[in-house]
Amino acid sequence: MAQRGDHEYDYLFKIVLVGDSGVGKSNILSRFTRNEFSLESKSTIGVEFATRTLQIEGKTVKAQIWDTAGQERYRAITSAYYRGAVGALLVYDITKRQTFDNVQRWLHELREHADSNIVIMMAGNKSDLSHLRSVQEDDGQALAEKEGLSFLETSALGAQNIEKAFQTILTEIYHIISKKALAAQQAAAAATPTQGTTINVTDSTGGFTKRNCCST
């Protein structure tokens, strides 16, 4: 556990929301961050993020979720938006085929600007509007499998699968970095078996943060 009063979390993970304008990104964010856990939100010029702290496998994880301020409309998201992101929620609208067709473009953008190990979840949002559906769930599933992404249909309106989408991303990220930390711990133990070793698992490309590892 990180030192209380210093950092009230074990891990801080930056997650970015991407996808066409109007698919529901901002509503997904507000739905998720206005739940019963602690909420802080902060506006900046150009971008906005909100945070929520939750428990993932017994660890306190602070999710810092970045939302666009409409730049996606002009395909003008800067690389700063993606910098340090360890997860992405790539959203399309199940009632608008074009937003699904553009998923490839967003994947390309993520692969170009974000860390290559970024965990990506694709979300087919507005599942409450299934009577207006223009993208079948099977098509979403097939694309996700082809691209190696997790996939869920969500509804920000109905709070359907929003929690699960973020839980899935955060758990996947946690598994990746706990494996890295374990490997680093074993390497450190083999090299210098001293007490209270601090292991920094931040690398030049990732945004993983862990402090005061390995107190046992």
Interface contacts to ligand GDP, rule CB under 6 A: 21-27, 125-126, 128-129, 155-157
Residue nearest Mg ion, CB atom distance: 26
The residue (of 65 and 156) whose beta carbon lies closer to ligand GDP is: 156
The residue (of 99 and 168) whose beta carbon lies closer to ligand GDP is: 99
Count of residues interacting with Mg ion (CB under 5 A):
2
d(CA 188, CA 194): 9
Does position 64 interact with Mg ion (CB under 5 A)? The reply is no
Q: Residue 180 CB, nearest distance to ligand GDP (Å)?
A: 32
Q: Residue 21 CB, nearest distance to ligand GDP (Å)?
A: 4
Amino acid making up residue 146: K
The residue (of 26 and 99) whose beta carbon lies closer to Mg ion is: 26
Q: Residue 96 CB, nearest distance to ligand GDP (Å)?
A: 10
Contact criterion met (CB below 8 Å) for 57 and 6? no
Residue nearest ligand GDP, CB atom distance: 24
In the chain, where do the E strands start and end?
11-18, 39-43, 47-56, 59-68, 87-93, 119-125, 150-153
Contact criterion met (CB below 8 Å) for 114 and 88? yes
DSSP secondary structure string, 109-146?
Answer: HHHHHS-TT-EEEEEEE-GGGGGG--S-HHHHHHHHHH
Cα torsion 137, 81, 40, 177: sign: positive
| Among positions 18, 24, 26, 31, the unique one binding Mg ion when judged by CB under 5 A | 26
The residue (of 129 and 188) whose beta carbon lies closer to ligand GDP is: 129
